[in-house]
Amino acid sequence: MPASSSTSEIVAAMRSARRIAVVAHVRPDGDAVGSILGLALSLRAMGKEVIALLEDGVPENLAFLPGTDTIIQPGSAPLNVDLAIALDTATHERIGERCKALLDPAPMLVNIDHHPTNPGYGTLNHIDATSPATGQIIYNLLSEHGLPIDDAVRQNLFIAISTDTGSFQFSSTNARTHRIVAEMIEAGLDTARLATLVYQSCPLRRLDLMRAMLNEMQFRADGRIASWQLTQKLMDDIGMLPGDTEGLIDTLRMIDSVVSCVIFEDVPGGKVRISARSKDARLDVSTICGQFGGGGHRMASGARMRGPIGEAAEKFLQVLEHEVRRID
């Protein structure tokens, strides 16, 4: 993990900038969208001109968050920002090709993240792998330095933290996480409303996807590994939209015998996207994903492999099965 710059240095850079771009990773999840909006809305309240950028735009299931209407997808016009800030993005490339091209001319890049594999590609880097969500780092930064926090900022950062901790269930959740939410509730945040919006507002299409997964999931290593292959054909049949797979893997994780679960997904260019999870601290899926050019957290990681999906799955699962059998 790279040496971290102090949040004071980062806040000083924010204060002295006039025009700031805030960006997160491709295929944005709740932590990506919530973190960039939490920070962007606070910076706007400080009087900064802020461009919130996402290569793939906002997924439909997160469109209820305040400020999503201000997020833009990268165009061709130069941004002319004094400062670029990348959040929740483990490698520089993962902000997306078009975002990277637009932000490369920025005189300074701040990199704030919680992925332990982040190499520190910014001018200033603040990588805190003990934080369960980038949203938690942003909340700490705003509150420690007295930067504006209003209800819209809280909504975004709550969703960032809630989604990245699996609703406060994952082992990365710590005492500070709960203290932050307690502070948010004391300040009047309606967390039940937000939970309904993010966890109980699925279009039927997402349950069709889950139904297919439950029908097709496969097991190996005596039920300790559960996996599923999400093919392009199924995506077409269901009419799947970006963000539809968020949280799907947690259903595989529910099974008592499972210590690791994996979803393989066809992505454009003949590639296969891998999402892997561990339920046992002795099994580090980030090193397994690392063998296939990916990375992430010990308990939640990803990689991309060349297709076809069946062959990629078999290669990955053989390595995973070897590791799973080693820990017993």
Span interacting with Mn ion, options 80-88, 99-107, 148-156, 234-242, rule CB under 5 A: 80-88
Span interacting with Mn ion, options 43-51, 81-89, 98-106, 252-260, rule CB under 5 A: 81-89
- Both tokens of 100, joined, read 């990277």
Q: What is 43-64 written as a DSSP string?
A: HHHTT-EEEEE-TT---GGGTT
> How many residues lie near Mn ion (CB under 5 A)?
4
Binds Mn ion by CB under 5 A, chosen from 14, 23, 24, 31? 31
The minimum distance between CB 8 and Mn ion, in angstroms, equals 23
Nearer to Mn ion, 88 or 244 (CB): 88
What number of other Cβ atoms are within 10 A of residue 238's Cβ? 17
The CA distance from 258 to 285, in Å, is: 14
Nearer to Mn ion, 25 or 44 (CB): 25
The minimum distance between CB 322 and Mn ion, in angstroms, equals 28
Interface with Mn ion, residue 88, by CB under 5 A = yes
Beta strand 19-23 with 83-87: parallel, antiparallel or unpaired?
parallel
Interface with Mn ion, residue 246, by CB under 5 A = no
Nearer to Mn ion, 263 or 300 (CB): 300
- Both tokens of 164, joined, read 């990245």
* φ and ψ at residue 137, rounded to 5 degrees: -65, -40
Q: What letter does residue 217 receive in the DSSP assignment? A: -
Residues 6+ apart with CB under 8 A from 92: 86, 100, 121
- Both tokens of 8, joined, read 């004071």
Nearer to Mn ion, 44 or 297 (CB): 297
Span interacting with Mn ion, options 95-103, 123-131, 136-144, 162-170, rule CB under 5 A: 162-170
Residues 6+ apart with CB under 8 A from 63: none
**HSE of 98 in the Cβ direction (CA atoms, 13 Å)?**
12
The minimum distance between CB 278 and Mn ion, in angstroms, equals 16
Binds Mn ion by CB under 5 A, chosen from 21, 89, 164, 301? 164
The minimum distance between CB 132 and Mn ion, in angstroms, equals 8
The minimum distance between CB 263 and Mn ion, in angstroms, equals 17
Q: Give the chain's length.
A: 328
Torsion angle (degrees, nearest 10) of CA 247, 178, 31, 22: 170
The minimum distance between CB 58 and Mn ion, in angstroms, equals 16
Span interacting with Mn ion, options 30-38, 75-83, 171-179, 215-223, rule CB under 5 A: 30-38
Interface with Mn ion, residue 113, by CB under 5 A = no
Q: Give the CA distances from residue 220 to residues 134, 230, 312, 318, 322, in Å, rounded to whole numbers and listed in that order.
A: 34, 18, 16, 10, 11
Span interacting with Mn ion, options 25-33, 70-78, 142-150, 251-259, rule CB under 5 A: 25-33
Q: Are 119 and 2 in contact (CB under 8 A)?
A: yes
Enumerate binding residues for Mn ion (CB under 5 A): 31, 88, 134, 164
